[in-house]
Structure 1
Amino acid sequence: MSLSGIGVLLIGIGFLILSIFLARVLNNMAAILNGVGRTVEQLPDQLDDVLNETGQIIQNSNDTLADVNEKLGTLTPLFHIVGDVGESTRKLASSVNDIAGTIIRKTESVDEETRNKRLGGLYGSAALALYAVNSGKEKKRGFLKRHSKLYASGEQRAFDIDRMKEEAKEAAMESNYMSNEK
């Protein structure tokens, strides 16, 4: 055999190996395409099942939505009642606030002298009650108890307060802030 015959023989063997390899690849490709073909044939049936399930889900959603709307319809009057109660409560709180504001304005408009007279009367009544209780206890014991330092201090402060009130009245009369009627 000559060199050209050996070359042709080697090319033939290479071509045979290449054709065997391509045949295997093409067979595998044919198997894959057959599988794809079967999947495509089954696809309409599967899509029908999916669409039927989707239709049922939509129907169930519509039923649920209708049920929720019905229940909300029954709750709407309750929400209106709660809103009315809230509005009434707000109006009541506003009225109470207005009354409290009026009372505060009235108490602030009372002049200082009237307040002092009221407090003086209250303190005087309390002091008289305390004196009566203490003197009753002392009479039961049969002797007079000596006044404490606290009592003496309280008397001194009461005297100082009365003195300051008189000085304030005199200063106000001198400045013509008060009338001479009092």
Structure 2
Amino acid sequence: MTLVGIGVLIIGIAFAIISIFVARTLNNLAHVLNGVDETVKKLPDQLDGVMNQTAEVLGQSRDTLADVNEKIRTLSPLFYIIGDVGESSRKLTSSLVDMTSSLKKNTNDGKTVVNEENLRGLYGAIAFSYFLTKRKKAMKAALDHTNQK
């Protein structure tokens, strides 16, 4: 054999090895494409199922929304009543705040008069004697009550 024959033999063996590798790769690719083909064939049925379920969910959502709207319509008068009560209580509280501010001003005016007239001691003595009188009556009533038993 000559060198040309040996070179051709080596090229032939390399070509055979490459052919086997390419054949196996193409065979695996054919299996993958068969799997894709099966998946694509199932796709329309799966999409039909998904669309049917979506339509069902949308129908149920529409029914639920209609039910919620009906319940809100039923509760609306209650919310109006609660709003009216809140507004009334706000007006009442506002009136009480105005009255309290007026009383505070009147009390401060009276305090100013007492301080200017130096009547603080006199008012204190009157208040103390009133307190003692009330206390004495309460103690007497308690003694009478225990004596009756």
**How does the TM-score come out when normalised to structure 1?**
0.62
Compare the two structures and name the one with the higher helix fraction.
Answer: 2
Partner of 1:81: 81
Give, in angstroms, the shift of residue 36 of structure 1. Answer: 0.9
Higher alpha-carbon deviation: 116-125 or 87-96: 116-125
Structure 1 gap segments, 5+ residues each? 133-182
Structure 1: 4+ residue segments shifted above 3 A:
113-127
Partner of 1:103: 103
Task: State the one-letter code of the partner of 1:76.
Answer: S
Structure 2 gap segments, 5+ residues each? 137-149
Report the Cα distance in structure 2 between the residues aligned to 1:64 and 1:44, rounded to whole angstroms: 30
Partner of 2:38: 38
Report the Cα distance in structure 1 between the residues aligned to 2:32 and 2:89, rounded to whole angstroms: 77
Q: Greater CA radius of gyration, 1 or 2?
A: 1
Partner of 1:68: 68
Q: Deviations over 1:112-142 (max 9, x none)?
A: 1495454443445567x5xx9xxxxxxxxxx
Report the Cα distance in structure 2 between the residues aligned to 1:83 and 1:48, rounded to whole angstroms: 50
Task: State the one-letter code of the partner of 1:11.
Answer: I
2:62 partner SS: helix
Report the Cα distance in structure 2 between the residues aligned to 1:17 and 1:67, rounded to whole angstroms: 73
Rate the CA distance shift 1:24–1:114 in 2: closer, same or farther, 3 A.
same
Give, in angstroms, the shift of residue 82 of structure 1. Answer: 0.8
Rate the CA distance shift 1:124–1:24 in 2: closer, same or farther, 3 A.
closer
Give, in angstroms, the shift of residue 80 of structure 1. Answer: 0.9
Report the Cα distance in structure 2 between the residues aligned to 1:92 and 1:125, rounded to whole angstroms: 35
Partner of 1:29: 29
Aligned residues: 130
Give, in angstroms, the shift of residue 100 of structure 1. Answer: 1.9
Partner of 1:121: 126
Task: State the one-letter code of the partner of 1:121.
Answer: I
Identity %: 51
Rate the CA distance shift 1:54–1:35 in 2: closer, same or farther, 3 A.
same
Task: State the one-letter code of the partner of 1:78.
Answer: L
Q: Deviations over 1:33-87 (max 9, x none)?
A: 1111111111111111111111112222222222111111111111111111111
Task: State the one-letter code of the partner of 2:108.
Answer: E
**How does the TM-score come out when normalised to structure 2?**
0.74
